[in-house]
Structure 1
Amino acid sequence: MKKKLIGLLCILAFISCNNKSSETETVDVVLIGGGIMSVTLANMLHELDPNLTMVTYERLEAVGMESSAALNNAGTGHAALCELNYTPELSDGSIDIHKAVEVNESFEVSKQFWSYLVANHKISSASKFINPTSHMSFVIGEKDSEYLKKRFLALQKHPLFTGMEFTEDSELIKQWAPLIMKERDSRQKIAATKIDIGTDVNFGALTEELASNMEKSSNMRIEFNHEVINIKRNKDATWRVTVKDLKNNILKSIHSKFVFIGAGGATLPLLEKTNIPEARGYGGFPVSGEWLVCNNPDIIAQHAAKVYGNDYPNAFKT
C-alpha cells in the first residue's frame, strides 16, 4: 500500500511539473476552433457589440487548416440550387421545397454580411473568396428524370430560384458541362437543371480574411497551438474552460460568459463535457471521400459548373 501511495504521489508530481498552470483570465466569449464557423461568429458579434472580449483557441498553427481549407470541402455556396437532398419527393409525389427555401435565404444573409464587410473595408475584394459559378443537377434514368422535372417546376414558383433551366436534351447538357457527356451512351435517359446565380466559395481564403479582421481589434484575439481539453459550467451559469498551450505545455483556466464550439471532429466530445441537456442524443459518424484534382488547364477549361447528382435510385423519396 505504501509503495502504491508513493507511486501515485510521483505520478501527480510529474503531471504537476509537466502541466504548469497559469492564472485565470475572464472574457465574454470563448470560441473553440479556428475555422469558418468560429471566425464568422466572432466577426458578427464584434459588429453587434465592439466591446465584447473574445478569444478563439485553435490547436494548429493557423486558421482554416482543416475542414475550412479549400481542398477539404466542395467549395459550394450552398443555396439549394443544385443539392437534391434539400428537396425530397413526398409520398403523394409532390416536392417539398421548404428546406431549399430556408437554406437559400440563409445563404443570402451570408452574402449580405460579406458584402457589408467588403464595403466597409474590413475584408478585401470579394473575388478573393467568392465567384459566380453555374450550379447544375444531373440525374440518370426515367424515375430520377421525372423527379428532377417536378423539382424544377416546384422551385420555379419561388423567386429565389428564378432563372433555373431544365432539359433532357443531351446536346444542351453537353454545352453546359461537356466533360460529363463525353463518351456517354446516347441511349441513356438523362436530365439536368442549370442556374447561373450559383457561387464557388473558397472558405479557406474567407476564413483568413475574417481572422485578419479580428486581429485589428484589441478585444478579439486568436491563440494558436492551444487545445481546449475541458469545459465546466459554474454555479452562476458562466463557464470555466481549460486550455492547454501545446507549445509550452501550460494549462490555462479561462472564465467566459459564453462558449461556442466549432471544433470540427472534436465538437461532439467537447459538447458532452458541458453536460448540457441539449448534448444528449447526438452521435457522430465518419464521412470520407477522395478528391480528384486536375491541374491540366486544357481539361479545366472544359468545365465551369458545380454539378450535383444522385448516387442511388430513388434517393430523394420520403
Structure 2
Amino acid sequence: MSSVLKKTDVILIGAGVMSATLGTLLKELAPEWEIKTFEKLASAGEESSNEWNNAGTGHAALCELNYTTEKADGSIDISKAVNINEQFQLSRQFWADLVRRGLISNPDQFIRPIPHMSWVTGEKDVDFLGKRFKALSQNPLFQGMEYSEDKSRLKEWIPLMMQGRDENEPVAATKIDSGTDVNFGALTRLLFDHLKTKGVEVNYRHSIKDIKRAPDGGWIVKVQNLDSNRVERHHAKFVFIGAGGGSLPLLQKTGIPESRHIGGFPVSGLFMVCKKPEVAEKHHAKVYGKAKLGAPPMSVPHLDTRYIDGKKALLFGPFAGFTPKFLKTGSNMDLIGSVKPSNLFTMLAAGAKEMGLTKYLVQQVMLSNAQRISELREFIPDVKDEDWEVVTAGQRVQVIKDTPQGKGTLQFGTEVVSAADGSVAALLGASPGASTAVHVMLELMQRCFPQQMPQWEPKIKEMIPSYGKRLSDHPELFQELFDATADALKLEKIAAVRR
C-alpha cells in the first residue's frame, strides 16, 4: 500500500448517473474544485444506470399509476405525482441547458419523445382511471393528457395491445404525447465525457476498501486498483457515495451515526424483450398498468418502446427475483455482510412485517417462462412466445429504516443519507431515481454545502430557471420552460387535446 496521502476536494464513488449529475453541477458552480471519481467496473453507467438495467422511463408521473392513490372517500390523491413531475422538470431544464451550451451534444443520443400511457381493464379500475384523469387534468403539469374508453380510439393508440382483445372487456387508457424515453446509460457516459474535459479524474477498475474520518474532519478513502492490486489513500473534504446497491455497505464503513438503523433488501429484476422490428413497429408508447392486489409498487407492469443503440425494441416487465447480491456484479455475501449490530433489529422487524413481499418474491422466482408469457398476454393478447426473450435487469436495494410509522419500515423511493456536518453523503433506494437526479443532487447540495449555496444560487437559476419555485403554481412559467426545453431536447410540446 502506498504511504502517500493524495489530497483532493471531492471524491465521487461510483460512475453512475447520480455521480455524473453531481459532478457536472459542482464543476459548473465551483470550477476550481478538484474532483476524483472511482468506479469498480471498466466504464461509466454499467450498473443501475445502464440502459438494459432499467426501464428507461423519464419518470414524470404521467403514466405510473402507483404515484396516485384513491382515498377512502373515493377522491384521488395526486400530491406524489405532482411532486415527481416537478422534480423531473428540473432534470429537463438542466439537460436542455447543457445541450444549448454545447456541453453535451445531440440530445437524441439519450432522450426521445415517447407517449406515456396508463392502461386498465375491468370496471373498477376503469372507474379509478377516469377519476385519476380528471384530478390530474386540473393541474397545469399534466396538460395534454387524453382519456378514452373507446375501443376504436384505443386501436389507434395501441394497435398491438388491442389486436385479439375481447370486445366486451371494459378497458380504458390515458395518453400524453410529451412523455420521454431516456437512455440513462448514454446520458451518464456523455456527462462523464464532458467532466473529463473539465479536468475531472475518472478512475475505472478501482474498488473502495475503506472510508475513515480524517483528523481534520475530512475523509480518507482507501482505494484498490483492481488491475495492479496497488492500494492508495486519498483525502477529500467531501465524499459522495453514489454506488447504487453498493452504497449501503460503503455508508456503513463511514461509521457516521446517520448510517445506523438502516438496512437494505435487494430485489433483482427481469424483463421480457422483443427486438423483432416487425413487432416493435406496431407499438409506440410506454404503457403502465396497475399492480396486482398485494404486489409491491416496484412490480407495476409496463410495456415500453425503447431505443437502445439506435434500434427500437419492446420491453415488458418487471418480474422480480431475489438474490443476496446488492449489485448485479456483487457478491452473494452482500446481504449478510450488511447486517450489523446497529441495524439487526431494524432488519428483523422488517422481516416480520414484510411477509407479503417475501411471498410475492418467492412466487416471482418460481415463475416459468410460460407463466411470464401469460402475464404479457394481458397486455398483448396475440403474443407469440418465440418473439420474446428474458433479460436480467439491474439490482435494486430497497431501503429499510426506523420511521415514526414503526421499526424496520420498507421504503420505496430514493433517499439521501448525510453526515451532520455535510462532509459525506450517500444515495440509497430505487425509482424514480435517475429521472429526478437533478432534484436529488440539488437537495444533497443544500444539506452538504449550506455556506456555498447562497452564492451558487444565481448560477443554478441560470441553468434551472424554476429552481426554488413550484411550476404547478406558475402555469405560464411552466408552459414557457416546457416549450423551451422541448426545443432544446427535440421533444414534443404540449398539444391541444382532442376530447
Same fold (TM over 0.5): yes
User: Matches of residues 1-318 of structure 1 in structure 2 within 5 Å?
Assistant: 20-218=1-199, 220-313=200-293
CA 1:253–1:316 in 2, change beyond 3 Å: closer, same or farther?
closer
* Cα distance, 1:300–1:118 mapped onto 2, change above 3 Å: same
Deviation for aligned residue 1:80:
0.5
Q: Which amino acid aligns with 1:86?
A: Y
- Is the contact made by 1:167 and 1:193 (CA closer than 8 Å) also made in structure 2? yes
Cα distance in 2 between the residues matched to 1:181 and 1:283: 43
- Contact kept in structure 1, 2:16 and 2:48, CA below 8 Å: yes
- How far is the alpha carbon of 1:282 from its aligned partner? 2.5
Q: Which amino acid aligns with 1:182?
A: Q
Q: How far apart are 1:314 and its partner, in Å?
A: 8.2
Write the deviation string for residues 57-104 of structure 1: whole angstroms up to 9, x where unpaired: 101111011211111110001101011111112222221111111111
Give ranges in structure 1 of 5+ residues lacking alignment.
1-19
How big is the shift at 1:115?
Answer: 0.9
Q: Give SS of 1:116's match.
A: helix
Structure 2 counterpart SS, 1:259: strand
SS at structure 1 position matched to 2:223? strand
Quick one: which amino acid aligns to residue 138 of structure 1? W
Higher mean alpha-carbon deviation, 276-285 vs 21-30, is at 276-285
1:315, CA displacement in angstroms? 7.1
Structure 1 residues 278 and 95, CA, compared in 2 at 3 Å: closer, same or farther?
Answer: farther
Identity of aligned residues (%): 53
Deviates more, 1:157-166 or 1:170-179: 170-179
Compute the displacement of 1:22 (Å).
4.8
Cα pair distance change 1:143/1:277, threshold 3 Å: farther
Q: Aligned pair count?
A: 297
| Gap change, CA 1:250 and 1:107, over 3 Å in 2 | same
Give the conservation status (yes or no) of the 8 Å contact 2:12–2:240: yes
Q: Aligned partners of 1:286 and 1:143: how far apart in 2?
A: 33
CA offset at residue 234 of structure 1? 2.6
What is the rounded CA distance, in whole Å, between the counterparts of 1:232 and 1:276 in structure 2? 10
Supply the distance in 2 between the matched residues of 1:146 and 1:281 (Cα, whole angstroms).
Answer: 41
Aligned to 1:17: none
Question: Residue 258 of structure 2 aligns to which amino acid in structure 1?
Answer: E
8 Å Cα contact 1:35/1:66 also seen in 2: yes
Q: Which moved more, 1:192-201 or 1:277-286?
A: 277-286
> C-alpha displacement at 1:144, in angstroms?
1.4
Instruction: Report deviation, 1:39.
Output: 0.8
Query: Which residue does 1:15 correspond to in 2?
Result: none
Structure-2 separation of matches of 1:21 and 1:92: 65
Specify the SS of the correspondent of 2:46.
Answer: coil
Is the Cα–Cα contact under 8 Å of residues 144 and 314 in structure 1 kept in the other structure? no
1:316 shift after superposition: 10
Moved over 6 A (4+): 314-317
CA displacement, residues 162-189 of structure 1 (integer Å, 9 cap, x when unaligned): 0101111222222111122222222222
Q: Tell me the alpha carbon deviations over residues 247-296 of structure 1, each in whole angstroms, 9 at most, x when there is no partner.
A: 11111111111111111111111111122232223222222232222221
Partner Cα separation in structure 1 for residue 235 and residue 227 of structure 2: 22
- In 2, Cα distance between equivalents of 1:215 and 1:53: 12
Letter of the 1:308 counterpart: Y
Quickly say closer, same or farther: Cα 1:315–1:245, change in 2 above 3 A: closer
- Give the deviation of 1:193 after TM superposition: 0.6
**TM-score (norm: length of structure 2):** 0.58
In structure 2, give the amino acid aligned to 1:259.
V
- C-alpha RMSD of matched pairs (Å): 1.7
Task: Output one character per residue of 1:148-169: Cα deviation in whole Å (capped at 9) or x when no partner.
Answer: 1111111111101001011112
Distance in 1 between the 2:81 and 2:58 partners? 13
Structure 2: runs of 5+ lacking an equivalent? 298-499
Does structure 1 retain, via aligned residues, the 8 Å contact 2:66–2:290? no
| 3-state DSSP of counterpart to 1:229 | strand
Check the 8 A contact 2:147/2:172 in 1, yes or no. Answer: yes
Which residue identity does 2:261 align to in structure 1?
G
- Residue 188 of structure 2 aligns with an amino acid whose one-letter code is T
Q: Secondary structure at the match of 2:266?
A: coil
Q: What one-letter code is carried by the residue in structure 1 that aligns with 2:245?
A: G
SS in 2 for 1:291: strand
Q: Take 1:170 and 1:186, find their aligned partners in 2: how far apart are those partners?
A: 8
Q: Secondary structure at the match of 1:59?
A: coil
Equivalent-residue separation in structure 1 for 2:172 and 2:280 (angstroms): 23
Q: Secondary structure at the match of 2:52?
A: helix
Q: Distance in 1 between matches of 2:223 and 2:40?
A: 10
Q: Give the distance between the partners of 1:186 and 1:21, measured in 2 at CA.
A: 72
Pick 1 or 2: higher relative contact order, CA cutoff 8 A, min separation 6: 1
Conserved? CA contact 1:87–1:316, under 8 Å: no
Q: Deviations over 1:7-40 (max 9, x none)?
A: xxxxxxxxxxxxx335111111111111111111
Aligned to 1:7: none
Q: Which one has a bigger Cα radius of gyration?
A: 1
